[in-house]
């Protein structure tokens, strides 16, 4: 993510980006569009080209708004700089530090092995076990990290199966062939080739699906919340608990559908199976959980619970469980005489993320170095944070904010609303899901979300429907690129393993893309509408107020 490209794509992008920028900049402004919006479109074309081709490092491209927006009269430097440091950035920052702690002490590997061991018998169940384990991990740590963890374990398993099949004529179960594979890869043309392909694709797909189920699971989810609160500050808040209850069931169903697609014709050669001892032996190698692992497990579980129960868990208008944020609000109002407006916004998911991240620097790990107690987190480890990702998020926020302020989102939104006017709501949702799913196969999903969601927000107002009807499935669909290696980092990681070809990924990934579009459309209409109380036949009052506030 941080390096610039060196191939032909980067060379094309180096020329294409500035060319598009200059062509748009000096072309006549379309009727009805503000001049600053047209100049913003030129900057967006430049950044999108460089982001897509990595002509220069992605993080460097993300900084362009700070320079170009003031010089082109789009936004002042003070205003655009605020986009790079807000509560959503801190939410992701805290989540990154917690994820680094989990990886630092090896908790993620132990969790993954325990989950897979439960289901490890037939090859089809092994694929399911790996998918569930990867999906669970990617709910809390990055999709890239969860894929990097599970891919070596999967490769070792398939290679061990290949060895057992050769040495025992395919009649024995695997459990004793536990040596690490050395200079041996998956034989795609062998009897276990289909299993290796299914396993690698299952790891990549479930990492992406798991990430869409939690607010911190992927950058695009955090991006959505920022854009939502920016566009509709008077609208319902999308907390970590709201997101989890909305998309965890959707993600689980999508994982099962993906598993069915991968394994419906998968057969075990000569009765080949995987003993649970394969995973038990690896757990024995890890030894008993250390004090540091148990401490990280506590922090990890506490963070998840605090995120989940900050707001009341609701289905529709009915509260199933109260939220601890209400107690904080009552304390601030009753004991500290704080204004109710302040108290209702005093704590946020980012508050939890940063609090738990700071806690890691305080809690002992149970280990000592040079006579000094080591903490669960140190600054040397924290400095390995993916800062480029945080800058990418900030650049996306800057573009999105300018789309609204310059009226570019309104102009494009009007055009979109004109095209889909009169369509049934399910057809409009399906079109949005299709657009986001296949667009993110070729472009960075954060960029796509940053550009498209403000457009959908304005189009929803024009169509007089709840903006969440289009924006929520759009944000989730941005994580559903399963077809190409460039679609997502998990896709690229498993493709680099050599276990599958481009054709293997594209053929089955295209089918899952279509399944994802259908699934997300049905889930929105059947589940999200009653669960979140979405209005399908009228514009909510809070959206009308915001529309008036924006001068629309």
pLDDT in tens, 65-106: 999 999 999 999 988 998 888 776 787 788 778 878 877 887
313 CB burial (10 A radius; 0-12, 13-18, 19+): middle
pLDDT at residue 180, rounded to an integer? 44
**Does the residue 47 lie in any domain?**
yes
**Does the residue 195 lie in any domain?**
no
Question: Out of 199-208, 358-367, 379-388, 518-527, which region has the weakest mean confidence (pLDDT)?
Answer: 379-388
Question: Out of 299-308, 310-319, 383-392, 508-517, which region has the weakest mean confidence (pLDDT)?
Answer: 310-319
pLDDT at residue 177, rounded to an integer? 44
What does pLDDT average to over the chain?
80
Q: Comparing C-alpha atoms, which of 218, 207, 219, 211 is closest to residue 150?
A: 207
Per-residue pLDDT at 3 exceeds 50: no
- HSE, CB side, 13 Å, CA atoms: give it for residue 513: 21
329 pLDDT band, cuts 50/70/90, is: confident
The listed range with the strongest mean pLDDT (181-190, 308-317, 505-514) is 505-514
pLDDT at residue 86, rounded to an integer? 77
Question: Out of 35-39, 158-162, 537-541, 544-548, which region has the weakest mean confidence (pLDDT)?
Answer: 544-548
**Does the residue 196 lie in any domain?**
no
Q: Per-residue pLDDT tens for 65-76?
A: 999 999 999 999
**Does the residue 11 lie in any domain?**
yes
Per-residue pLDDT at 352 exceeds 80: yes
**Does the residue 64 lie in any domain?**
yes
**SS3 sequence, 343-390?**
HHCCCCHHHHHHHHHHHHCCCEEEEEECCEEEECCCHHHHCCCCHHHH
- Provide mean pLDDT across the span 309-316: 64
Domain range spanning residue 3? Answer: 1-74
- Provide mean pLDDT across the span 195-211: 90
**Does the residue 155 lie in any domain?**
no
Q: Which is higher by pLDDT, 183 or 41?
A: 41
Q: Which is higher by pLDDT, 455 or 67?
A: 67
Separation CA 518–CA 4 (nearest Å)? 36
CB 215 within 8 A of CB 225: yes
What is the percent of the chain with per-residue pLDDT over 70, rounded to a whole number? 81
Q: Per-residue pLDDT tens for 461-504?
A: 888 888 899 999 999 998 888 887 766 778 877 876 777 776 78
**Does the residue 18 lie in any domain?**
yes
Question: Out of 29-33, 155-159, 256-260, which region has the weakest mean confidence (pLDDT)?
Answer: 155-159
172 pLDDT band, cuts 50/70/90, is: very low
Per-residue pLDDT at 316 exceeds 50: no
Strand partners, 230: none
pTM of the predicted model, to two decimals? Answer: 0.64
Q: Which is higher by pLDDT, 180 or 207?
A: 207
Per-residue pLDDT at 159 exceeds 60: yes
For the chain, what is the domain count?
Answer: 1
Separation CA 89–CA 83 (nearest Å)? 9
Please measure the distance between the N-terminal and C-terminal CA atoms of the chain and give it in whole angstroms. 38
Per-residue pLDDT at 179 exceeds 70: no
120 pLDDT band, cuts 50/70/90, is: low
173 pLDDT band, cuts 50/70/90, is: very low
pLDDT at residue 549, rounded to an integer? 40
Residue 315, H or E segment: strand 313-315
pLDDT at residue 171, rounded to an integer? 43
**Does the residue 328 lie in any domain?**
no
Q: Which is higher by pLDDT, 318 or 426?
A: 426
Q: Which is higher by pLDDT, 398 or 298?
A: 298
Q: Distances in Å between the alpha carbon of 223 and those of 199, 219, 355, 389, 466?
A: 30, 6, 21, 12, 19
Q: Per-residue pLDDT tens for 264-291?
A: 887 765 545 556 676 677 778 888 888 9
Per-residue pLDDT at 110 exceeds 70: yes
- Provide mean pLDDT across the span 298-308: 81
Q: Distances in Å between the alpha carbon of 86 and those of 78, 287, 295, 390, 451?
A: 14, 42, 29, 11, 19
């Amino acid at each position: 993510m941080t390096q610039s490209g060196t191939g032909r794509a980067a060379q094309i992008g180096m020329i294409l980006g500035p060319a598009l920028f200059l062509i748009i900049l000096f072309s006549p402004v379309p009727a009805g569009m503000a001049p600053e919006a047209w100049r913003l479109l030129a900057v967006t074309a430049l950044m999108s080209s460089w982001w897509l081709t990595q002509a220069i490092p992605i993080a460097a491209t993300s900084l362009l708004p700070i320079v170009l927006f003031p010089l082109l009269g789009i936004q002042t430097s003070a205003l655009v700089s605020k986009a790079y440091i807000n509560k959503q950035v801190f939410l992701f920052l805290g989540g990154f530090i917690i994820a680094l702690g989990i990886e630092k002490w090896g908790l993620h590997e132990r969790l993954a092995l325990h989950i897979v061991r439960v289901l490890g018998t037939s090859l089809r169940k092994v694929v399911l076990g790996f998918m569930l384990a990867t999906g669970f991990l990617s709910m809390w740590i990055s999709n890239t990290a969860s894929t990097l963890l599970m891919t070596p374990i999967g490769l070792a398993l398939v290679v061990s199966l290949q060895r057992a099949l050769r040495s025992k004529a395919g009649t024995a179960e695997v459990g004793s062939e536990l040596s690490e594979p050395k200079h041996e890869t998956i034989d795609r043309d062998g009897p276990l080739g289909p299993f290796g392909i299914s396993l690698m694709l299952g790891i990549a797909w479930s990492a992406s699906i798991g990430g869409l189920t939690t607010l911190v699971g992927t950058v695009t989810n955090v991006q959505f919340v920022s854009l939502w609160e920016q566009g509709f500050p008077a609208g319902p808040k999308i907390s970590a608990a709201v997101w989890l209850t909305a998309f965890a069931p959707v993600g689980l169903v999508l994982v099962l559908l993906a598993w069915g697609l991968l394994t419906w014709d998968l057969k075990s050669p000569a009765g080949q199976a995987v003993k649970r001892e394969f995973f038990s032996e690896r757990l024995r190698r890890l030894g008993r959980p250390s004090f540091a692992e148990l401490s990280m497990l506590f922090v990890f579980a506490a963070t998840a619970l605090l995120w989940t129960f900050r707001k009341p868990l609701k289905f529709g208008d009915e509260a199933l469980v109260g939220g601890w944020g209400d107690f904080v609000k009552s304390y601030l109002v009753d004991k500290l005489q704080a204004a109710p407006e302040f108290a209702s916004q005093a704590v946020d998911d980012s508050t939890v993320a940063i609090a738990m991240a700071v806690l890691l620097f305080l809690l002992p790990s149970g280990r000592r170095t040079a006579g000094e107690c080591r903490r669960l987190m140190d600054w040397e480890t924290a400095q390995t944070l993916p800062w480029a990702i945080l800058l990418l998020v900030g650049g996306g926020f800057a573009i999105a904010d300018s789309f609204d302020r310059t009226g570019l989102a309104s102009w494009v939104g009007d055009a979109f609303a004109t095209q889909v006017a009169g369509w049934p709501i399910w057809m409009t949702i399906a079109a949005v899901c299709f657009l986001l799913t296949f667009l993110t196969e070729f472009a960075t999903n954060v960029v796509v979300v940053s550009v498209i969601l403000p457009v959908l927000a304005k189009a929803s107002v024009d169509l007089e429907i709840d903006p969440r009807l289009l924006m929520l499935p759009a944000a989730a669909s941005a994580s559903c690129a399963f077809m190409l290696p460039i679609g997502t980092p998990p896709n690229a990681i498993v493709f680099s393993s050599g276990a599958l070809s481009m054709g293997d990924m594209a053929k089955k990934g295209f089918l899952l893309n279509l399944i994802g579009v259908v699934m997300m459309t049905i889930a929105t209409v059947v589940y999200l509408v009653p669960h979140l109380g979405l209005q399908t036949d009228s514009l909510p009052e809070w959206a009308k107020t915001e529309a008036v506030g924006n001068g629309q």
